[in-house]
Amino acid sequence: MKNKFGKYISDLMLMVIENDIDSTEFQLAISELKKLSSDISEFIDKNLTEDSKTTKTLLQENTK
């Protein structure tokens, strides 16, 4: 499994590599990659927090 990022993200990365820093395509691709990064981080944080709450609840149920 070589490509772990998906076609959309890979295409955005390619646009960044192939375009000049002053181009509109470069700026749009960077903007979208930053948004995706933020969304992914938020998803991970949310699910890690919910997973630890579930574990704590299950542990409390076992001790009763």
Digit-coded pLDDT (tens) for 5-57: 899 999 999 999 999 999 999 999 999 999 999 999 998 888 887 655 666 66
> How far apart are the C-alpha atoms of 42 and 24, rounded to whole Å?
27
- What's the per-residue H, E or C state across 9-26? HHHHHHHHHHCCCCCHHH
The string of DSSP letters for 26-58 reads: HHHHHHHHHHHHHHHHHHHHHHHHHHHHHHHHH
Banded model confidence at residue 4, pLDDT cuts 50, 70, 90: confident
Q: What is the pLDDT of residue 33?
A: 96
Q: What is the pLDDT of residue 63?
A: 61
